[in-house]
Amino acid sequence: MPTVLIVEDDELLRHMYQVVFEHEGFTVKVAGDGQSALVAVKQSLPDVILLDVVMPKVGGIEMLTKLRANRAWQHVPVVVTTSLTDTATAEAALAAGATKFIQKATTGRKRWSK
């Protein structure tokens, strides 16, 4: 059974991804930030990583750079996700070695400020 490491700081999204991947037959490991994810990768190399960009401690692009710098981890496919809408983020992720880049759907919610 293939293993996916889901690296997402949003608990609801992390759980949703977990349910979907488990339904598809994956063994699922989860991490809420890049630092925890790097520890998880050291413990057991996943077959694929789903990686959010904006996270506490170690962000997605930084984590991806560290993955690609390690020969033992270079081959693992990494799908980068984000709700950021700028093209620079996508370009940075792909330049850092992302296998694919997926734009998360936005809810259309307005952000209110005082």
Q: Six-digit token pair at 31? A: 């991490």
**Amino acid 54: pLDDT:** 87
- What is the CATH classification number for the domain harbouring 9? 3.40.50.2300
Local structure of 74: helix, strand or coil:
coil
For residue 25, being part of any structural domain is answered with: yes
In this prediction, residue 77 carries a pLDDT of 97
Q: Output the pLDDT for position 114.
A: 44
What is the CB neighbour count within 10 angstroms for residue 96? Answer: 19
Residue 14 covered by a domain: yes
The percent of residues above 70 in pLDDT, for the chain, comes to 92
At 20, list the tokens: 């979907």
Which span out of 7-11, 24-28, 80-84 was modeled with the highest average pLDDT? 24-28
pLDDT band, very low/low/confident/very high, at 112 (cuts 50, 70, 90): very low
The answer as to whether 108 is a domain residue is no
Q: What pLDDT, in 10s, does the model give residues 79-104?
A: 999 887 778 888 899 999 999 998 88
Q: For residue 97, with 0-12 CB atoms within 10 Å meaning exposed, 13-18 middle and 19 or more buried, which class applies?
A: middle
Count of domains observed in the chain: 1
**Considering the domain boundaries, does residue 91 fall inside one?**
yes
Distances (CA, A) of 56 to 33, 74, 95: 6, 23, 21
